[in-house]
Structure 1
Amino acid sequence: MSMRNWLAAPLLWVVAFAAQAQEKSYAYWNMPKGVTEISRDVYGLHMLIFWVVVVIGVGVFAAFFYSIWAHRRSRNPKPATFHESTTVEIVWTVIPFLILIAMAIPATGTLIKIEDSSDAEMTVKVTGYQWMWGYEYVGEDVSFISRLDRASDRARQVGSGIDPRTVENYLLEVDNRLVIPTDTKVRFLLTSNDVIHSWWVPEFGMKRDAIPGFINEMWARVDEPGVYRGQCTELCGRDHGFMPVVVEAVPPAEFERWLAEQKGESGAAEAAPAAAGTEVAAAEAGTTTDAAVDAGNEAADEAAAAAPLDKAELMTAGEKAYKANCVACHQASGEGMPPAFPSLVGSSVVNGETAQYITQVLNGKNAMPPFGHLSDKEIAGVVTYTRNSWGNESGPVQPGDVAALRQ
């Protein structure tokens, strides 16, 4: 092969690889600029230091190769006799010092900004569990668990026969997204229920560890509506790779509507028929005052809560709650993933004392997170479902039994 071919071959390979990369839209060759002020500042620092390093590298290697060429033995058979140069020592000490100062000033300003979570307009508490995230909108009485979505969870199982490439956003989608408003300073309080986790969304430009017994803070003000995905970046156990973070940023008005819907899910729909009946009764009696309606609503709610549910209704509600909250760890067959998540088939806990089982579901135990955020009906349903499936045979558990054991 001629010298021209030797030189052309690597060049053609680089061009072909670059074209392939462009075709596949490889966006991970560099860190993202992000959608927050902090992320853009971090990106700017990254690029500034990158080009400083490039200039230094070019200068050092240019001097290196020039020295090899200019002072080769064939041109200078007699070596120089000088030993040191005070001027050179001062120059190559002062210049790096000035470069470090020039980089430290903007970096320090960005670090101060990163740590300043004051004047936040809303606060979200983020709790890490093995292997899911709990979100609580502080002061809004809204909380939920966010875990890997069912499509990804099915595809990741050994022997599933599902090609992960056919699953959209494989391992980067959840069943419940964290929804936040745009153009709003949101403070995140991060902690953990079991081991160290780390909450990370690349487009936000920051991440923070979630440590048991500690509260860490970070904040973000998202400029653009959209869905932003991340992952747990701390090795937190065997299913560490299946703990994604998905944040959906929406305009403030849309967020307020979403928040109102979340607040209304905890019984507003069930209370509506009772309220309507109370208003009719009050109208017939000629007492349509607000006080009478409120009193009737309270009485109707108490009566509805006290009324026992039949086993079929509990099994239906329980199967739905189990698939949404338990199947990722205990599997659809109930066989679990021992030793962290034991089998529920023939379990002494599941088939044992009812109060003990309900308490464990409410408060959690070992690797099992607490599920006290679920309604009494959902917990009664999932307890009934697991106690009467896969060969287990026990009677139904009522929502009142759960309410009596809440602390």
Structure 2
Amino acid sequence: MTSGGIRRSMKAVATTALALFGGAVWANPQPDQLNLTKGVTTWSGEPYFLNNVAFGVCVVIGIVVFGAMFISMFKFRKSRGAVAEKWTHNTKLEALWTGVPIIILIVLAKLATTGLVSFADTTGSEMTIKVTGYQWKWRYDYVDYRGKAVEKVGFMSKLDGRSDRTRQLGSGMDPGKVTVDGYNTYLLDVDHPLVLPINTKVRFVITGADVIHSWWVPALGWKMDAIPGVINSAWTNIKEPGVYRGQCAELCGQDHGFMPIVVKAVPKAEFEQWLATQQDEAKLLKASQTAQTAPAPKGQG
């Protein structure tokens, strides 16, 4: 095959691979996905870019190292009359293969450090969410929104009932039929998703109530440990409305595999309406509880 034919063949293979797998990296994790998801936040492109750079560096190093090895094995083997060179060292080559790796490591370290510094900066956040990990569920508390404290809005979020019934031994239910809008959500759906507004910098404070958990939604581009007695912080700014799924990423006990995470990102107006409804319901519940516990007037009862 000519060099032009080889190039055309490689281009066709690359185009086919992109068509087959390129869409998967934008969505929730899919079977046979080949790369990190690009994510849907203002920051998630950082780890995606760094992963691709590091992967590219490894591929180039692999081609050089294994290429040299195979050329040496097949072209300069004893059966072809090759005679080993008798020299101790080559200063230029040693400087080259020492200096180049150092430069590569410095560049990768610079890229990684820059990304981590930007990720650690939660200043300017418009909203704060407290995330608490439990065996085996999550609790979300809305702390503040746009400079105002949010009163009594919080809830537990656990595996949805249909997945929970299906996973039981002897249930006879088919995991493949647990779907939402054609997407298989077996062990990936919850009863109460975390609702967030898009185009809003959201600060998370993350902790654990019993053992170490890890809050991870791939589309956000990061995961963070939830450690009892420790408050970790992170932030996100989601650009696109949608439902983004994740899971606990730290082995935390018997039902570790049954505590998924679901983030529902909606436009700001829709979120503010949802938040107002939640606050009104919390006030009504508090008023009802107060009325039930109030002492009866004298002369009655």
Would you call these one fold, judging by a TM-score over 0.5? yes
Is 1:154 equivalent to 2:165 in the alignment?
A: yes
| Structure-2 change in CA distance of 1:76 and 1:302 (3 Å) | closer
| Cα distance in structure 2, aligned partners of 1:93 and 1:124 | 47
| Cα distance in structure 1, aligned partners of 2:219 and 2:82 | 58
CA RMSD of aligned residues (A): 2.6
In the alignment, what sits opposite 2:132?
127
2:172 aligns to what SS in structure 1? coil
Matches for 1:192-271 after TM superposition, within 5 Å: 192-268=208-284
Q: Quick one: which amino acid aligns to residue 247 of structure 2?
A: Q
In the alignment, what sits opposite 1:274?
none
| Cα distance in structure 2, aligned partners of 1:124 and 1:269 | 22
Larger C-alpha radius of gyration, 1 or 2? Answer: 1
Q: Which runs of 5+ in 1 are unaligned?
A: 1-13, 272-299, 309-407
In the alignment, what sits opposite 2:111?
106
Normalised by the length of structure 2, the TM-score is 0.81
Give per-residue Cα distances to partners, 1:102-122, cap 9 Å, x unaligned: 222222110111111111111
The structure with higher relative contact order (CA 8 Å, sep 6+) is 2
| Cα distance in structure 2, aligned partners of 1:301 and 1:63 | 77
1:74 aligns to what SS in structure 2? helix
Offset at 1:79?
2.5
Q: Quick one: which amino acid aligns to residue 148 of structure 1?
A: L
1:38 aligns to what SS in structure 2? coil
> Could you tell me which of 82, 85, 92 is aligned with 2:97?
92
In the alignment, what sits opposite 2:192?
176
Q: Quick one: which amino acid aligns to residue 107 of structure 1?
A: A
Offset at 1:28?
2.4
Matches for 1:351-370 after TM superposition, within 5 Å: none
| Cα distance in structure 2, aligned partners of 1:270 and 1:184 | 29
Q: Which runs of 5+ in 2 are unaligned?
A: 1-12, 25-29, 144-148, 180-184, 297-301
Give per-residue Cα distances to partners, 1:324-367, cap 9 Å, x unaligned: xxxxxxxxxxxxxxxxxxxxxxxxxxxxxxxxxxxxxxxxxxxx
> Could you tell me which of 129, 135, 140 is aligned with 2:150?
140
| Cα distance in structure 2, aligned partners of 1:147 and 1:58 | 47
Normalised by the length of structure 1, the TM-score is 0.60
Higher strand share: 2
Identity of aligned residues (%): 52
Offset at 1:172?
0.7
Matches for 1:308-387 after TM superposition, within 5 Å: none
Number of aligned pairs?
Answer: 263
Q: Quick one: which amino acid aligns to residue 183 of structure 1?
A: N
Offset at 1:270?
9.9
Matches for 1:15-34 after TM superposition, within 5 Å: 26=31, 28-34=33-39
Offset at 1:301?
8.9
